[in-house]
């Protein structure tokens, strides 16, 4: 958006104009971040220009790529915007990846420069850290594609995929957010919990917040008390943006103070069980909104007022259909780079691998779980999502992952001590015998991806089990 309020959608991924018009425009004194020290728009623009000069001096050229291996920080924000202003491609690497994973990604994507922290990052529970950076020249090659951003999928069910999105696509998603009723408005705050390396924090948090004039407030620490303190730190309405894992952090606050500023919490990622939603809304007195999306697309649908749970309404401009029980999203081109399953995108439609239905009258979309959650036991079909959901309704069960590795196996995380035999006895009252797990394994913490999604990779779960 320009200074006179005109929205500009870029015609190319190259160059700085779309960054200035859509993300950095606005009064210099407007606060963008509160860390808790405020960072206003004028200061942000100055920092981005400085980073741009440093990157150019290290060899990044228009059309080149820069790999960013940085924790959530002003260093990440300013380097990302600087890469885009320079007309470059940003390859986002979660700072929690191992050196081996990073090396494989860099060898495959061949950036011109690699930006990383100049020393090991020990962030603990901090959501935003101060880091100094090291910029290393890597190659002289231009980026192999014209995508503005390259991300790795979360890999909750297997190896990560490499996904690219153009500047046009990113800007369209930012503008899509502005048309969704219930999103934070100018002058309000977002308590930002998800990592900006991943799509919810990147577009739904950082990019939308900058475009809409919403103040971004990362809590001092990733704890329930710190999130409450961040909500209470200002008088303007506050929306907590996170994933289902973060609901548990807020739920752990024993006696939250009155929070008249608390507008709602919005979660992306996995669907939230109805019992969890009800308990949260009863405790805090605000709606728990739901958002459905993918790294490949961004936001697909929302239910920010909790009016249609568990169904969602497609976001403006998003077309969803169900084919043979699978949800598909209209996309003009494949988002995948390099080797990928060619069946995932064809004839303008992206297969989500999520089971679901679209109501022909209301257009509401109901997600039924992953297609790969359907298994056959003794010739009878079992939906592992149903077994997981039933487990999470039991007393003491905080989270559950159910897989089929020859037989049905459940991995559960408890928030109160319970004997496995009691869990199995409770399940026997709720599920037919062929649906019940043959083994229930209790873990202190279920493995999660860097975006907070539960890992369903059988090898990872076996390794984590006692």
Pairing of strands 89-92, 149-152: parallel
Beta-strand ranges (E) seen in 347-428 are 349-358, 365-370, 374-377, 380-383, 397-404, 408-414
Spatial distance between the Cα atoms of 31 and 72, rounded to a whole number of angstroms: 18
Q: Which helix (H) or strand (E) holds 277?
A: helix 274-284
* Stretch 370-398: mean pLDDT: 82
Instruction: Please list, in sequence order, all residues whose beta carbon lies within 8 angstroms of the beta carbon of residue 43, skipping any fewer than 6 positions away.
Output: none
Q: Quick one: what percent of the chain has pLDDT higher than 90?
A: 63
Q: Could you tell me which residues are beta bridge partners of residue 433?
A: none
pLDDT of residue 385 exceeding 90, the answer is no
The predicted pLDDT at position 13 comes to 40
CA distances from 367 to 353, 355, 404 (A): 11, 6, 21
Distance CA 261, CA 228 (A): 11
Intra-chain end-to-end CA distance of the chain, in Å: 54
Residue 1: which pLDDT band, with cuts at 50, 70 and 90?
very low
Of residues 103 and 193, the one with the higher pLDDT is 193
Q: Are 433 and 446 in contact (CB under 8 A)?
A: no
Axis-axis angle for helices 224-232, 244-251 (nearest 10): 90
Let me know: does 449 contact 156? Beta carbons within 8 Å: yes
What are the two backbone dihedrals, phi and then psi, of residue 11, each rounded to the nearest 5 degrees?
Answer: -100, -5
DSSP helix, strand, coil percent of the chain (3-state; round to 5)? 30, 25, 45
User: In terms of DSSP bridges, do strands 288-294 and 298-303 run parallel, antiparallel, or are they unpaired?
Assistant: antiparallel
Measuring CA to CA, which residue among 298, 305, 351, 353 is closest to residue 328?
351
Mean pLDDT lowest for which of 102-111, 373-382, 394-403, 412-421?
Answer: 373-382
201 vs 14, higher pLDDT: 201
Provide mean pLDDT across the span 452-458. Answer: 84
Other C-beta atoms within 10 Å of 343: how many? 7
Q: In what order do the strands lie in the sheet with 149-152?
A: 133-137, 113-117, 65-69, 89-92, 149-152, 162-165
Closest to 125 measured CA to CA, from 31, 264, 249, 291: 249
- Name residues whose C-beta falls within 8 Å of residue 430's C-beta, 6 or more positions apart in sequence: 390, 393
Are the C-beta atoms of 188 and 252 separated by less than 8 Å?
A: no
Phi, psi of 256 (to 5 degrees): -65, 145
User: Cβ distance 192 to 210 under 8 Å?
Assistant: no
CB 62 within 8 A of CB 86: yes
Q: In the prediction, which pLDDT does 160 show?
A: 62
Average of per-residue pLDDT values in the chain: 89
CA torsion sign for 332, 167, 302, 296 is: positive
Once rounded to an integer, what is the mean pLDDT over residues 359-380? 83
Angle at 42 between CA 37 and CA 43, to 5 degrees: 45
pLDDT for 6 beyond 60: no
Amino acid 2: pLDDT: 39
Q: Is 429 helix (H, G, I), strand (E, B) or coil?
A: coil
Query: CA-CA distance, 365 to 385, in Å (whole number)?
Result: 17
Q: CA 210, CA 33: separation in Å to the nearest integer?
A: 9
Closest CA to 204 of 287, 293, 126, 73: 293
Given this model, what pLDDT does residue 266 score? 96
Q: How far apart are CA 254 and CA 262, in angstroms?
A: 17
Determine the average pLDDT of the residues in 167-186: 97
Strands 365-370 and 349-358: antiparallel
Give the pLDDT confidence of 293-336 residue by residue, as tens digits: 999 999 999 999 989 988 999 999 999 999 999 999 999 999 99
Q: Averaged over 169-190, what is the pLDDT?
A: 97
29-65 residue pLDDT tens: 999 999 989 999 999 999 999 999 999 999 999 999 9
């Amino acid at each position: 958006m320009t200074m006179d309020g005109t929205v500009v959608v870029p015609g190319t991924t190259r160059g700085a104009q779309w960054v200035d018009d859509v993300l950095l425009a606005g009064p210099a004194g407007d606060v963008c971040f509160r860390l808790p020290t405020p960072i206003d728009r004028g200061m942000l623009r100055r920092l981005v220009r400085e980073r741009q000069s440093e990157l150019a001096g290290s060899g990044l050229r228009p059309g080149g790529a820069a790999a960013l291996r940085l924790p959530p920080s002003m260093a990440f924000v300013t380097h990302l915007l600087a890469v885009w202003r320079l007309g470059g491609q940003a390859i986002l690497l979660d700072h929690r990846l191992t050196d081996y994973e990073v090396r494989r990604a860099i060898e495959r994507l061949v950036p011109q420069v690699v930006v990383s922290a100049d020393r090991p990052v020990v962030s603990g529970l901090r959501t935003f850290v101060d880091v100094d950076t090291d910029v290393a020249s890597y190659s002289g090659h231009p980026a192999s594609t014209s995508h503005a951003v390259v991300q790795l999928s979360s890999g909750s069910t297997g190896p990560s995929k490499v996904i690219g999105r153009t500047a046009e696509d990113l800007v369209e998603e930012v503008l899509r957010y502005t048309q969704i009723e219930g999103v934070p408005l100018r002058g309000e705050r977002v308590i930002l919990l998800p990592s900006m390396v991943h799509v919810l924090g990147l577009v739904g948090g950082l990019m939308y917040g900058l475009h809409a004039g919403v103040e971004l407030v990362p809590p001092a620490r990733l704890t329930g008390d710190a999130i409450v303190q961040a909500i209470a730190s200002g008088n303007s309405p506050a929306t907590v943006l996170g994933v289902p894992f973060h609901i548990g952090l807020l739920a752990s606050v024993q006696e939250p103070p009155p929070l008249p500023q608390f507008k709602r919490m919005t979660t992306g990622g996995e669907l939230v069980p109805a019992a969890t939603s009800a308990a949260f809304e009863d405790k805090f007195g605000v709606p728990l909104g739901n958002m459905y999306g993918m790294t490949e697309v961004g936001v697909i649908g929302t239910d920010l007022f909790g009016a249609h749970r568990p169904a969602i309404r497609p976001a403006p401009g998003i077309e969803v259909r169900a084919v043979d029980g699978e949800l598909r999203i209209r996309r003009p081109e494949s988002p995948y780079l390099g080797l990928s399953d060619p069946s995932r995108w064809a004839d303008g439609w992206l297969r989500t691998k999520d089971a679901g239905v679209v109501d022909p009258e209301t257009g509401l979309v109901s997600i039924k779980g992953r297609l790969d959650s359907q298994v056959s036991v003794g010739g009878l079909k079992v939906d592992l999502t149903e077994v997981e959901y039933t487990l999470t309704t039991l007393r003491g069960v905080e989270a559950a992952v159910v897989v089929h590795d020859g037989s049905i196996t459940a991995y559960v995380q408890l928030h109160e001590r319970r004997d496995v035999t009691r869990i199995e006895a409770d399940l026997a009252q709720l599920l037919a015998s062929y649906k019940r797990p043959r083994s229930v394994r209790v873990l202190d913490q279920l493995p999660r991806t860097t975006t907070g999604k539960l890992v369903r990779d059988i090898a990872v779960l076996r390794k984590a089990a006692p």
